[in-house]
Amino acid sequence: MSMYDFTVKTRDGRDVSLADYKGKVLLIVNTATGCGFTPQYRELQELYDEFRDAGFEILDFPCNQFGEQAPGTDEEIHTFCTGRFGITFPQFAKIDVNGEHAVPLYRWLTENTVFGGFDKSPAGLMMSQILKKADKDYAKTGSVKWNFTKFLIGRDGRILARFEPTASMKKVKTAVKEAL
């Protein structure tokens, strides 16, 4: 199974084959509009502006599984993101990334990557403490731990890297440049 075998839903409910993105470098991100990491939308848009002409796409999948921080309809979420952050990259229908209702794309992503750990920043230390309280073994699974987890996909459809929400966007940018 490859990334190109999956179909996802657009905000308006149409099916889109990820095979449409063959040959591009992709950054797949689960997002939320009411999260402490929501300002990353600005940095994601800057990354998209810089590299989209070189064959780079960001695929944005809103998810309400982490603290219910992505409330609202797909259209309300999109209006917020375009109005507040000016995003122009593709934003898909709200999904589940973990659990029995996780979309197949995210099952594949999480089964083929490992949790990389949070950095030692205050946000990373806080995330570790919160998740450890809920599940002392949280770090042992590949599940998505929070909003703004990013998966970098190469032009051949293979997973190149996984970035946890606390990873520096400079690190993400360097990996995108190398993939292009």
Domain of 15? Answer: 3-179
Q: Note the pLDDT tens digit of each residue in 125-166.
A: 988 998 888 888 898 889 999 999 999 999 999 999 999 999
Task: Supply the pLDDT for residue 36.
Answer: 87
Confidence of residue 65 (pLDDT cuts 50, 70, 90): very high
Residue 8: strand pairing partners:
16
Hey, what's the torsion of the CAs at 147, 153, 157, 159, to 10 degrees? -80
Torsion sign over Cα 157, 143, 162, 103: positive
Q: Any idea which residues carry the catalytic annotation?
A: 35
Residue 129: count other Cβ atoms within 10 Å of its Cβ: 10
Domain count, the chain: 1
**Residue 89: both structure tokens together:** 């990259």
CATH code, domain carrying 115:
3.40.30.10
Terminal-residue alpha carbon distance, the chain = 23
